[in-house]
Homo-oligomer: A and B are copies of this chain.
Amino acid sequence: MKNKKGVTIYDIAQELKVSPSTVSRALKDHFSISKEMIKEVKKVAQKRGYRPNSIAASLRNNRTNNIGVIISWINRPFVSSLISGIEEEANKAGYNVIISQSHDSFDNEVANARALYDSRISGLVVSLAMETQSYDHFNPFIQNNIPVVFVDRVADEFNSDKVVIDNFAAAYMATEHLIEQGCQRIALACGSQYRNIYRERESGYLAALREYNIPIKDEYIVHSDSLNAQEGFRIAEYFLSMETPPDAIFSVNDTAAVSFIQYAKEKGIKIPEELAVIGFNNDPVSLIIDPQLSTVSHPAIEMGKLAAQQVLKQSQYKDVVKSEAIMLRTELLVRASTKRK
Protein backbone atom coordinates (compact mmCIF):
# COMPACT_ATOMS: atom_id res chain seq x y z
CA MET A 1 0.00 0.00 0.00
CA LYS A 2 3.00 2.29 -0.02
CA ASN A 3 2.86 4.71 -2.90
CA LYS A 4 6.10 4.56 -4.75
CA LYS A 5 5.28 8.06 -5.87
CA GLY A 6 4.50 10.11 -2.82
CA VAL A 7 1.12 11.70 -2.26
CA THR A 8 0.67 15.01 -4.04
CA ILE A 9 -1.89 17.75 -3.80
CA TYR A 10 -3.46 16.23 -6.91
CA ASP A 11 -4.21 13.02 -5.08
CA ILE A 12 -5.86 14.94 -2.30
CA ALA A 13 -7.77 17.09 -4.77
CA GLN A 14 -9.04 14.02 -6.54
CA GLU A 15 -10.23 12.38 -3.37
CA LEU A 16 -12.09 15.51 -2.33
CA LYS A 17 -13.25 16.32 -5.84
CA VAL A 18 -11.79 19.80 -5.68
CA SER A 19 -9.02 21.45 -7.61
CA PRO A 20 -5.34 21.24 -6.75
CA SER A 21 -5.23 24.98 -6.27
CA THR A 22 -7.79 24.71 -3.54
CA VAL A 23 -5.76 22.06 -1.82
CA SER A 24 -2.59 24.09 -2.17
CA ARG A 25 -4.24 27.10 -0.64
CA ALA A 26 -6.02 25.18 2.06
CA LEU A 27 -2.76 23.66 3.20
CA LYS A 28 -1.32 27.07 3.81
CA ASP A 29 -4.43 28.45 5.48
CA HIS A 30 -5.10 30.87 2.71
CA PHE A 31 -7.74 33.34 3.80
CA SER A 32 -9.89 32.77 0.77
CA ILE A 33 -10.61 29.16 1.66
CA SER A 34 -13.48 28.19 3.89
CA LYS A 35 -12.79 26.83 7.32
CA GLU A 36 -14.53 23.56 6.55
CA MET A 37 -12.58 23.06 3.36
CA ILE A 38 -9.34 23.70 5.14
CA LYS A 39 -10.25 21.18 7.78
CA GLU A 40 -11.26 18.60 5.21
CA VAL A 41 -8.16 19.03 3.15
CA LYS A 42 -5.92 18.75 6.15
CA LYS A 43 -7.73 15.68 7.33
CA VAL A 44 -7.22 13.90 4.03
CA ALA A 45 -3.64 15.11 3.83
CA GLN A 46 -3.03 13.66 7.25
CA LYS A 47 -4.77 10.42 6.39
CA ARG A 48 -2.88 9.93 3.16
CA GLY A 49 0.39 10.91 4.74
CA TYR A 50 0.92 13.87 2.47
CA ARG A 51 4.29 15.56 2.72
CA PRO A 52 4.81 18.77 0.80
CA ASN A 53 7.44 18.59 -1.89
CA SER A 54 9.61 21.53 -1.05
CA ILE A 55 11.67 21.07 -4.18
CA ALA A 56 8.71 21.83 -6.34
CA ALA A 57 7.88 24.82 -4.21
CA SER A 58 11.48 25.93 -4.41
CA LEU A 59 11.48 25.69 -8.15
CA ARG A 60 8.36 27.77 -8.31
CA ASN A 61 9.60 30.39 -5.89
CA ASN A 62 13.21 30.16 -6.92
CA ARG A 63 14.38 29.86 -3.36
CA THR A 64 14.92 27.00 -0.97
CA ASN A 65 14.39 26.67 2.73
CA ASN A 66 18.10 26.39 3.24
CA ILE A 67 20.53 28.78 4.78
CA GLY A 68 24.18 28.33 3.89
CA VAL A 69 27.03 28.74 6.31
CA ILE A 70 30.69 29.09 5.47
CA ILE A 71 33.09 28.86 8.38
CA SER A 72 36.75 28.10 8.78
CA TRP A 73 36.89 24.92 10.84
CA ILE A 74 33.86 23.40 12.41
CA ASN A 75 35.80 21.61 15.12
CA ARG A 76 36.61 24.71 17.08
CA PRO A 77 34.54 25.56 20.09
CA PHE A 78 33.68 29.06 18.96
CA VAL A 79 32.68 27.94 15.49
CA SER A 80 30.59 24.96 16.45
CA SER A 81 28.72 27.05 18.99
CA LEU A 82 28.18 29.68 16.35
CA ILE A 83 26.64 27.07 14.08
CA SER A 84 24.54 25.85 16.95
CA GLY A 85 23.03 29.29 17.31
CA ILE A 86 22.41 29.60 13.61
CA GLU A 87 20.78 26.21 13.46
CA GLU A 88 18.47 26.90 16.37
CA GLU A 89 17.18 30.13 14.90
CA ALA A 90 16.90 28.71 11.41
CA ASN A 91 14.99 25.62 12.48
CA LYS A 92 12.61 27.75 14.44
CA ALA A 93 11.72 29.47 11.19
CA GLY A 94 11.49 26.24 9.23
CA TYR A 95 14.86 26.50 7.55
CA ASN A 96 17.63 23.97 7.28
CA VAL A 97 21.29 24.80 7.59
CA ILE A 98 23.93 23.77 5.08
CA ILE A 99 27.45 24.03 6.39
CA SER A 100 30.74 24.11 4.59
CA GLN A 101 34.26 24.60 5.81
CA SER A 102 36.80 26.80 4.14
CA HIS A 103 39.65 25.40 6.24
CA ASP A 104 40.82 28.99 6.13
CA SER A 105 41.66 28.68 2.46
CA PHE A 106 40.50 31.30 -0.02
CA ASP A 107 40.03 28.79 -2.80
CA ASN A 108 37.83 26.61 -0.65
CA GLU A 109 35.78 29.60 0.37
CA VAL A 110 35.19 30.53 -3.25
CA ALA A 111 34.28 26.97 -4.15
CA ASN A 112 31.93 26.71 -1.19
CA ALA A 113 30.25 29.98 -2.03
CA ARG A 114 29.69 28.80 -5.55
CA ALA A 115 28.31 25.44 -4.47
CA LEU A 116 25.95 27.13 -2.07
CA TYR A 117 24.87 29.62 -4.66
CA ASP A 118 24.16 26.85 -7.10
CA SER A 119 22.07 25.05 -4.54
CA ARG A 120 19.86 28.15 -4.31
CA ILE A 121 20.21 28.85 -0.63
CA SER A 122 18.02 31.71 0.50
CA GLY A 123 20.67 33.29 2.67
CA LEU A 124 24.30 32.98 3.62
CA VAL A 125 26.19 33.37 6.86
CA VAL A 126 29.95 33.75 6.49
CA SER A 127 32.91 33.93 8.78
CA LEU A 128 35.80 34.66 6.47
CA ALA A 129 38.80 32.45 5.86
CA MET A 130 42.19 33.69 7.04
CA GLU A 131 43.47 34.08 3.51
CA THR A 132 40.55 35.93 1.99
CA GLN A 133 41.29 39.36 0.58
CA SER A 134 38.86 39.58 -2.30
CA TYR A 135 35.11 39.41 -1.88
CA ASP A 136 33.89 39.04 -5.44
CA HIS A 137 32.64 35.55 -4.78
CA PHE A 138 29.81 37.03 -2.75
CA ASN A 139 28.60 39.29 -5.52
CA PRO A 140 26.33 36.71 -7.15
CA PHE A 141 24.36 36.56 -3.93
CA ILE A 142 23.99 40.30 -3.68
CA GLN A 143 23.03 40.62 -7.30
CA ASN A 144 20.25 38.13 -6.78
CA ASN A 145 19.00 39.56 -3.54
CA ILE A 146 20.23 36.68 -1.46
CA PRO A 147 21.21 38.13 1.91
CA VAL A 148 24.79 37.68 3.03
CA VAL A 149 25.58 38.21 6.70
CA PHE A 150 29.12 38.24 7.99
CA VAL A 151 29.90 37.05 11.49
CA ASP A 152 32.96 37.67 13.60
CA ARG A 153 35.44 37.68 10.74
CA VAL A 154 33.82 40.27 8.56
CA ALA A 155 34.70 42.24 5.46
CA ASP A 156 34.75 45.95 6.15
CA GLU A 157 35.05 46.59 2.46
CA PHE A 158 31.90 44.73 1.66
CA ASN A 159 28.54 46.32 2.22
CA SER A 160 26.30 43.86 4.01
CA ASP A 161 25.04 42.89 7.43
CA LYS A 162 27.56 42.12 10.11
CA VAL A 163 27.50 40.59 13.55
CA VAL A 164 30.62 41.27 15.54
CA ILE A 165 32.06 41.92 18.94
CA ASP A 166 34.00 44.98 19.94
CA ASN A 167 37.42 43.48 19.41
CA PHE A 168 39.21 46.74 20.04
CA ALA A 169 37.57 47.26 23.41
CA ALA A 170 38.05 43.64 24.40
CA ALA A 171 41.73 43.70 23.58
CA TYR A 172 42.13 47.02 25.32
CA MET A 173 40.49 45.59 28.44
CA ALA A 174 42.66 42.52 28.36
CA THR A 175 45.85 44.50 27.96
CA GLU A 176 44.84 47.02 30.57
CA HIS A 177 44.16 44.19 32.95
CA LEU A 178 47.69 42.88 32.43
CA ILE A 179 49.08 46.33 33.06
CA GLU A 180 47.07 46.62 36.24
CA GLN A 181 48.59 43.38 37.40
CA GLY A 182 51.93 45.06 37.19
CA CYS A 183 53.09 43.59 33.89
CA GLN A 184 55.48 45.81 32.00
CA ARG A 185 56.66 43.74 29.09
CA ILE A 186 53.48 42.60 27.44
CA ALA A 187 53.72 40.51 24.32
CA LEU A 188 51.06 39.89 21.72
CA ALA A 189 50.39 36.69 19.82
CA CYS A 190 48.25 37.80 16.93
CA GLY A 191 46.65 36.40 13.77
CA SER A 192 46.55 37.33 10.12
CA GLN A 193 46.25 41.03 9.50
CA TYR A 194 43.83 40.34 6.68
CA ARG A 195 41.15 39.68 9.26
CA ASN A 196 39.44 42.45 11.11
CA ILE A 197 39.32 40.60 14.39
CA TYR A 198 43.08 40.37 14.63
CA ARG A 199 43.73 43.86 13.34
CA GLU A 200 41.28 45.29 15.84
CA ARG A 201 42.65 43.28 18.71
CA GLU A 202 46.12 44.45 17.88
CA SER A 203 44.89 48.03 17.81
CA GLY A 204 43.31 47.62 21.21
CA TYR A 205 46.52 46.16 22.56
CA LEU A 206 48.59 49.00 21.14
CA ALA A 207 46.17 51.64 22.37
CA ALA A 208 46.33 50.32 25.91
CA LEU A 209 50.11 50.30 25.89
CA ARG A 210 50.17 53.86 24.62
CA GLU A 211 47.63 54.98 27.12
CA TYR A 212 49.77 53.70 29.94
CA ASN A 213 53.01 54.91 28.39
CA ILE A 214 54.43 51.49 27.97
CA PRO A 215 56.94 51.29 25.14
CA ILE A 216 55.81 49.22 22.20
CA LYS A 217 58.39 46.69 21.10
CA ASP A 218 58.09 45.04 17.73
CA GLU A 219 59.84 41.92 18.92
CA TYR A 220 57.04 41.39 21.41
CA ILE A 221 54.49 41.14 18.64
CA VAL A 222 54.12 37.94 16.64
CA HIS A 223 51.72 37.24 13.79
CA SER A 224 50.73 33.72 12.88
CA ASP A 225 48.38 32.47 10.22
CA SER A 226 47.15 29.61 12.34
CA LEU A 227 47.31 29.98 16.06
CA ASN A 228 47.06 26.29 16.79
CA ALA A 229 48.74 24.39 19.60
CA GLN A 230 51.85 23.67 17.60
CA GLU A 231 52.27 27.29 16.60
CA GLY A 232 51.61 28.19 20.20
CA PHE A 233 54.62 26.20 21.34
CA ARG A 234 56.77 27.70 18.62
CA ILE A 235 55.81 31.22 19.64
CA ALA A 236 56.25 30.43 23.33
CA GLU A 237 59.74 29.23 22.58
CA TYR A 238 60.48 32.41 20.69
CA PHE A 239 59.22 34.69 23.44
CA LEU A 240 60.67 32.83 26.38
CA SER A 241 64.13 32.43 24.96
CA MET A 242 64.57 36.15 24.41
CA GLU A 243 67.20 38.02 26.38
CA THR A 244 64.50 40.03 28.04
CA PRO A 245 61.44 37.86 27.77
CA PRO A 246 57.98 39.32 28.20
CA ASP A 247 56.35 39.09 31.61
CA ALA A 248 52.91 38.74 30.07
CA ILE A 249 51.40 37.48 26.83
CA PHE A 250 48.08 38.41 25.35
CA SER A 251 47.04 35.73 22.91
CA VAL A 252 44.19 36.41 20.51
CA ASN A 253 42.93 32.89 21.02
CA ASP A 254 42.81 30.41 23.85
CA THR A 255 44.45 27.59 21.98
CA ALA A 256 47.77 29.39 21.74
CA ALA A 257 47.39 30.81 25.23
CA VAL A 258 47.04 27.32 26.65
CA SER A 259 50.17 26.25 24.81
CA PHE A 260 52.03 29.17 26.34
CA ILE A 261 51.04 28.01 29.80
CA GLN A 262 52.00 24.44 29.07
CA TYR A 263 55.34 25.49 27.68
CA ALA A 264 56.06 27.79 30.60
CA LYS A 265 55.16 25.10 33.12
CA GLU A 266 57.52 22.72 31.40
CA LYS A 267 60.30 25.25 31.71
CA GLY A 268 59.52 25.89 35.34
CA ILE A 269 58.33 29.42 34.72
CA LYS A 270 55.75 30.46 37.29
CA ILE A 271 52.36 31.59 36.16
CA PRO A 272 51.22 34.27 36.72
CA GLU A 273 54.15 35.55 38.81
CA GLU A 274 56.79 35.33 36.13
CA LEU A 275 54.52 35.16 33.14
CA ALA A 276 50.89 36.22 33.02
CA VAL A 277 48.84 34.81 30.16
CA ILE A 278 45.50 35.91 28.87
CA GLY A 279 43.59 34.39 25.97
CA PHE A 280 40.51 35.10 23.93
CA ASN A 281 37.29 33.13 23.28
CA ASN A 282 36.58 31.44 26.58
CA ASP A 283 36.98 27.98 25.09
CA PRO A 284 36.29 25.03 27.40
CA VAL A 285 40.03 24.41 27.74
CA SER A 286 40.43 27.73 29.48
CA LEU A 287 38.79 26.16 32.54
CA ILE A 288 40.74 22.94 32.27
CA ILE A 289 44.26 24.27 32.08
CA ASP A 290 45.98 24.74 35.40
CA PRO A 291 46.19 27.58 36.30
CA GLN A 292 42.89 28.46 34.72
CA LEU A 293 43.18 30.85 31.85
CA SER A 294 42.00 34.43 31.98
CA THR A 295 40.25 35.22 28.75
CA VAL A 296 37.59 37.24 26.99
CA SER A 297 34.10 35.87 26.48
CA HIS A 298 32.95 35.44 22.93
CA PRO A 299 29.19 35.01 22.72
CA ALA A 300 29.20 32.43 19.95
CA ILE A 301 25.67 31.08 20.22
CA GLU A 302 24.23 34.55 20.52
CA MET A 303 26.17 35.70 17.48
CA GLY A 304 24.91 32.72 15.52
CA LYS A 305 21.34 33.45 16.48
CA LEU A 306 21.63 37.08 15.50
CA ALA A 307 23.26 36.26 12.20
CA ALA A 308 20.49 33.83 11.35
CA GLN A 309 17.88 36.37 12.36
CA GLN A 310 19.47 38.94 10.10
CA VAL A 311 19.47 36.55 7.19
CA LEU A 312 15.85 35.68 7.73
CA LYS A 313 14.83 39.28 8.15
CA GLN A 314 16.66 40.41 5.04
CA SER A 315 15.18 37.64 2.96
CA GLN A 316 11.74 39.11 3.64
CA TYR A 317 12.40 42.58 2.35
CA LYS A 318 13.49 42.18 -1.20
CA ASP A 319 15.24 45.01 -2.93
CA VAL A 320 15.84 46.81 0.32
CA VAL A 321 19.53 47.45 0.70
CA LYS A 322 20.02 48.60 4.24
CA SER A 323 22.93 46.92 5.87
CA GLU A 324 23.11 46.71 9.59
CA ALA A 325 26.04 46.07 11.91
CA ILE A 326 25.37 44.46 15.24
CA MET A 327 28.04 44.65 17.89
CA LEU A 328 27.86 42.48 20.99
CA ARG A 329 29.42 43.08 24.34
CA THR A 330 32.15 40.86 25.67
CA GLU A 331 33.40 40.32 29.16
CA LEU A 332 36.83 40.08 30.66
CA LEU A 333 37.10 36.83 32.56
CA VAL A 334 39.85 37.12 35.12
CA ARG A 335 41.24 33.81 36.30
CA ALA A 336 44.37 32.45 37.89
CA SER A 337 46.66 32.83 34.89
CA THR A 338 46.82 36.60 35.39
CA LYS A 339 45.78 37.19 38.99
CA ARG A 340 48.95 38.50 40.57
CA LYS A 341 47.44 40.53 43.34
On A, residues with C-beta under 8 Å from B are 2, 6, 51-56, 58-59, 62, 64-66, 73-77, 79-81, 83-84, 87-88, 91, 94, 96-101, 112, 115-120, 140, 143-144, 258, 262, 265, 284-285, 288-290
Contacts of A74 in B (CB 8 A): 74, 80, 83-84, 87
Q: How far is the CA of A88 from the CA of B59 in the complex (A)?
A: 28
A55-B120 contact in complex given A74-B84, A285-B288, C-beta closer than 8 Å? yes
CB <8 Å contact, B58 and A55: yes
**Beyond A75-B77, A290-B290, is A99–B99 a contact (Cβ under 8 Å)?**
yes
Known A51-B118, A120-B55; contact A96-B100, beta-carbon cutoff 8 A = yes
Contact A143 B55 (CB under 8 A): no
Q: With A143-B2, A290-B290 in contact, do A84 and B91 touch (Cβ < 8 Å)? A: no
- Verify B83–A144 contact, CB threshold 8 A: no
- Point out which of A77, A80, A289 has the most chain B C-beta atoms below 10 A from its C-beta: A80
Q: How far is the CA of A119 from the CA of B122 in the complex (A)?
A: 14
**12 further contact pairs, Cβ within 8 A, besides A53-B120, A288-B288:** A54-B118, A54-B119, A55-B64, A66-B66, A66-B98, A87-B100, A91-B115, A96-B116, A97-B98, A284-B285, A288-B289, A290-B290
Nearest B residue to A76 by beta-carbon distance? B80
Name the residue of chain B whose CB is nearest to the CB of A5: B62
Q: How far is the CB of A121 from chain B (nearest CB, A)?
A: 9
With A87-B100, A97-B100, A99-B83 already in contact, the answer to whether A54 and B120 are too (CB < 8 A) is yes
Q: Assess the B65–A119 pair: CB atoms within 8 A.
A: yes
CB distance from A301 to the nearest CB of B (A): 9
Complex CA gap A187/B112 in Å reads: 47
Which residues of chain B are within 8 angstroms of A91 by Cβ–Cβ distance? 100, 112, 115
B65 to A55, Cβ gap below 8 A?
A: no
Q: Which chain B residue has the least Cβ–Cβ distance from A58?
A: B55
Q: How far is the CB of A92 from chain B (nearest CB, A)?
A: 11
